[in-house]
Amino acid sequence: MAFLPANTSSLDRVAYLVGYPIAHSKSPSLHHAIYSAVGKRWGQCLCETTDLESFLAYLKKDPKCMGSGVTMPFKVAVIPHLDELTNEGKTIGAVNTIFFKPAADGSRIYCGTNTDCLGIRDAFLNNVEGSPYRGKPGLVVGGGGTCRAAIYTLQNFFGCSPVYIVNRDPGEVEAVLQECGARGGGDDLVYVSTTEQADKVPCPRAVVSAVPDFPPVTKNEKTAREILAILLRSGDKGALLEMCYHPSPDTEISRLATDFGWQVIPGIEAMIGQGLAQAHLWTGINIDEGLRNVARAAVLAKRDDFCAPLDLSA
């Protein structure tokens, strides 16, 4: 059975975004704006599904397809289905982008990479003067796929040392520590699990919050929030990237950071950066500040109604 979005006939080339739930995603708006700005009838369509294998089968049959974004819950599950991984994909252990390379026989090589780390990097570089992080502690709040990308960014692009992890679930943190350690990036990670420990460690300068916006309810949630507050209120203030921007960038953590004098970078900046990196991989177009501004304006305007979701359950 062929799975085609109703409106791809108006597009010469198309990328997808697969995941669930993703109806709120601004990614199609971003890509539509980028390609329109360079005069192309290209776009991105949502594929909101829990059936990854059916989506991949469709992807491989679509001659218009130039690649796909991958979001939760598939960032790890998609890896065994790919032919190659970039260094970022291997080291982070999560993939948010599928792109194609030509094989000698003319077929496609399906490659996986992670542009989340590039989006996180660019969010700091485009909003903070200088690069005041090398040799300074970094901090990641969370334990999922975005947490892994954030750790990679703080270690490899900014030279943060050490990198603290704060999270409500010790099991998630242990998984992150084991995976990063297996890939050679675990020596400088520190799980800050108690308020007493938080009082003793040097304060971070770059923070990435990669958790949903929620009021802490359980004991572990309250402890994690107390630890974060201790780390934010001590020492010199830096910049905090709040990755949560849906339904609102005004989160409890962003307000906490603002109250303690931190510069808060909205997560939409990381979303734009990773999307621009995807567009370059898929099309080869050069990304400049003009295109960045076009993408930002489109996302902020919420122009996300041009492309209907692709339903693989039909």
**Helices 27-37 and 268-283 meet at what angle, rounded to 10?**
50
Pick among 3.20.20.10, 3.40.50.150, 3.40.50.10860, 3.40.50.261: CATH of 8-114+269-300 = 3.40.50.10860
- How many Å is the Cα radius of gyration of the chain? 20
- For all residues of the chain together, what is the average pLDDT? 89
| Cβ atoms of 124 and 206 closer than 8 Å | yes
Helices (H) and strands (E) in the chain — how many of each? 11, 12
For the chain, percent of residues with pLDDT exceeding 90: 69
Instruction: Name the CATH code of domain 118-267 (choices 3.40.50.300, 3.40.50.720, 3.40.50.620, 3.40.50.510).
Output: 3.40.50.720
Encoded tokens for 143: 């334990």
pTM metric for this prediction:
0.88
Question: How is the chain split into domains, by residue range?
Answer: 8-114+269-300, 118-267
Q: Whose CA is closest to 267, among 233, 299, 290?
A: 299
Report the C-alpha gap between 215 and 83 in whole angstroms. Answer: 41
Distance CA(20)–CA(23), nearest Å, equals 8
C-alpha span between 134 and 109 (Å, rounded): 37
At 302 the pLDDT is: 62
Q: Which position has the token pair 């009082």?
A: 199
Q: Are 308 and 7 in contact (CB under 8 A)?
A: yes
pLDDT on residue 129: 82
Which tens digits make up the pLDDT trace of 177-228?
998 888 877 789 999 999 999 999 999 999 999 998 989 999 999 999 999 9
Q: Tell me how far apart the alpha carbons of residues 152 and 208 are, in angstroms, rounded to a whole number.
A: 11
- What is the pLDDT averaged over residues 47-70? 92
Same fold, 8-114+269-300 and 118-267: yes
Is the pLDDT reported for residue 303 higher than 50?
Answer: no
**Alpha-carbon span 94 to 243, nearest angstrom:** 17
pLDDT tens digits, one per residue of 273-288 = 999 999 999 999 998 9
Pairwise CA distance, residues 154 & 190, whole Å: 13
Q: What is the mean pLDDT of residues 17-28?
A: 88
Q: Does the pLDDT of residue 313 top 70, yes or no?
A: no
